[in-house]
Structure 1
Amino acid sequence: CFLMSGTLESLSGLGEDGSSFGSDSEINGPVRRTDKYGFLGGCMLRLCPFEADIAVAVARQREMKWLDMFRNWDKWISRRFPKVKVRCRKGIPSSLRCKAWQLLSNSQELLESNPGKFEELEKDQGDPKWLDIIEKDLHRQFPFHEMFPQFYTSHTFTSPLLLIFSFIYRVGYQNPLDGDIFFSLLRRVCPMAYRHLKKFKIDPILYMTEWFMCIFSRTLPWSCVLRVWDMFFCEGVKIVFRVGLVLLKQMLGSVDKLREIQGMYETMERLRNIPPEAIREEVLVQEVRVITLSVTEALIERECSIQVRKWRESRGELTHQPGRRLHGTRAIFEQKHRAAAISSGGSLLFLGGHVPPPGPLRVSQPEYLNKTLLWREKHGGD
């Protein structure tokens, strides 16, 4: 899957310039050249001059480790998730990225448990109002990638990033509330950037909407985008916050950088058009790891509660009620098994920890104890 490629093992069979022939060139007429990521002529690609170079032996070793995880996926997520997280941060092998994303997001299981559902929805005529909105957004959906041009000539308007966008809503994107949360986090992480943006009254919504909604695919070099998405699928929406904070710190986090951007217009231009050469893949990932120590899940949830309270005090009730986010693969795994345990009257003890279940799956303490006692009586447990 070229869209998800980006490490050394994806480059076999490419030309000297890293390009290849389009896979359907023999069928559709003239030969079309694609870059190593599958983009026709590189039309949608932001190249990074500092892409990480991985030795073939290392790439193959990583592939074997991921294949082993695939064979025992539930065990790895329940018992060795920190190791899974480390491997996602190192970058998923391109040859296995498609499968890995499906497992990390639980989309494979959802697909198998709903046979024929996608085809059913695809045949549905759809509401003209929503079709019009989707059509306006098609230019964002990689129309120049060799896998997807057919989607834009049909009337089904099938999004090639359906998996990603469905995952965004599962992990809890809450715009515009996230703008307030993000700005509050920035004050902690990089006061200099915070003061600069506040001085020129640059609201977070002006630059972070595209960052969050497109998960930086229109902002970062493609090799960086893939690394960010690997972490995002594993760890959830907190990665989007952390990457955004790192970008602001890199763009506005020093006196020398602020000398170059003296006003609102210059600042917005810099944030909307971040130079590819300013972002190094490994440096970006390392900075995200460092910022993890200060921008934790607990902090994001606490800021969410604070901003909800402030919003209600100043602007009234929210149009939607933000629930506790699913912070990535482990949270989705636990919610899935928690729901199964509750529906079957089983025990929740195998989940470990004392974090209450999110959203509508929350159960009262007496109800939880009753279900646990019933399970013990049935199975003879202690």
Structure 2
Amino acid sequence: MATRDWSDSESVASSVAAASEVSTVPDKFGFLGGAQYTEDGEETVPVDVIRRREKKWLDMFSNWDSHMLKKYKKVRDRCRKGIPSALRARGWQHLCGAHKQLERNPCAFDQLAEAPADPRLEDDIRKDLHRQFPLHEMFLQKGGHGQEDLFRVLKVHAQVSPDEYCQAHAPLAAVLLMQMPAEPAFWCLKSICDKYVPGYYARGLEAIQVDGDILYKLLKKVSPSAYKHLVSFVLTTVYSITLSL
């Protein structure tokens, strides 16, 4: 398997050094040190336009099966246009089918979250919690609500899919938790793994590594600036994790 070329990362070394001086003020997405990338003069969408978009999505939610069967292109186009932020969590749950699984299993998540699990599994999960988005306000504090919700989601997922669980589920679960509570986040994670990437998290993670290498090579070829930014982010994250160990 091809290895990634980090030889041109000298230009981003300063970003790595700055990791220890991260701002304590979160940006609008909850990440520390990112406010400088949000323009003050950012164009705002009029409130009445936002409300019209939300009303369209609420109408789709109330007739979801009909829209998916008869008006799929409209759903697709509205997704590409952007799900209103106030309804994004609900939209993700409908798009992957998690809302139906939650309705059919209303108490399953809490029961599995409280059930005893293999102590070694729980220990492995806890070792990975602090590595997930360490610069996001939800996951900064050890034992905080973000890390504890992440632990519960990963623990339940590991119990439901013991042959497929791996630490690569953690970043995906963390992103879901940025948008919704733990229970729907779990059902979204399960739906995504079952429907869209079956076998993707098998032992060895070969498919993930191949896709990662393809992404790096494509970015380096078509957008060197994006490639350097991604390299900078990876190095900064690794540096931050190393400092926290």
The TM-score normalised by the length of structure 2 is: 0.55
**1:43 and 2:32 are equivalent in the alignment:** yes
State the Cα distance separating 1:90 from its structure 2 match.
1.1
Gap runs ≥5 in structure 1: 1-31, 180-203, 210-243, 261-266, 276-382
Question: Does the C-alpha gap of structure 1 residues 52 and 177 become closer, same or farther in structure 2, counting only changes over 3 Å?
Answer: farther
Q: What fraction of aligned residue pairs are identical, expressed as a percent?
A: 31
- Give the Cα separation in 1 of the matches to 2:82 and 2:36: 18
Match of 2:85 among 94, 98, 106: 94
Distance 1:118 1:74 in 2: 25
Shift in Å at residue 59 of structure 1?
2.2
| Higher Rg | 1
Alignment of 1:192-231 (within 5 A): 204-205=209-210, 208=212
1:141 Cα deviation from its structure 2 partner:
4.0
1:81-135 per-residue CA deviation (whole Å, 9 max, x = no partner) reads 1111111111100011111111112111111211211111111121122212211
Higher relative contact order (CA 8 A, sep 6+): 2
Select which of 222, 236, 243 maps to 1:253.
222
**Which residue does the alignment assign to 2:137?**
145
Q: Give the one of 167, 178, 190 matched to 2:207.
A: 178
Alignment partner, residue 264 of structure 1: none
Greater per-residue helix proportion: 2
Give the distance between the partners of 2:126 and 2:51, measured in 1 at CA: 41
What is the alpha-carbon distance in structure 2 between the residues aligned to residue 46 and residue 81 of structure 1? 37
1:114 corresponds in structure 2 to 105
SS at match of 1:99: helix
Match of 1:77 in 2: 68
Q: 2:43 aligns with which of 45, 53, 60?
A: 53
2:26–2:32 Cα contact (<8 Å) kept: no
Q: Given that residues 69 and 76 in structure 1 are in contact (C-alpha distance below 8 angstroms), is that contact kept between their aligned partners in structure 2?
A: yes
Superposed, which structure 2 residues align to 1:172-321 within 5 Å?
172-173=197-198, 174=200, 176-178=205-207, 204-205=209-210, 208=212, 245=215, 248-253=217-222, 257=224, 271-273=230-232
Deviations 1:267-299 (A, max 9, x none): 7x6643359xxxxxxxxxxxxxxxxxxxxxxxx
Instruction: Label 1:145 to 1:270 Cα distance change in 2 as closer, same or farther (>3 A).
Output: closer
1:169 aligned to 2:193? yes
Q: What is the alpha-carbon root mean square deviation over aligned residues?
A: 3.8
In structure 2, relative to structure 1, the CA distance for the partners of 1:54 and 1:249 (3 Å cut) is farther
CA–CA separation in structure 1 for the residues paired with 2:90 and 2:101:
14
**Native 8 Å contact 2:125 2:151 kept in 1:** yes
TM-score (norm 1): 0.37
1:52 CA drift (Å)? 7.0
Query: Is 1:157 paired with 2:151?
Result: yes
Equivalent position of 1:103 in the other structure: 94
Is there any run of 5+ residues in structure 2 with no aligned partner, and where?
A: 1-23, 154-176, 178-184, 235-245
AA at the equivalent of 1:36 = K
Structure 1 pair 121–153 and aligned structure 2 pair: CA distance change class (3 A): closer
| Residue 127 (structure 1) aligns with | 118
* AA of the residue aligned to 2:197: G
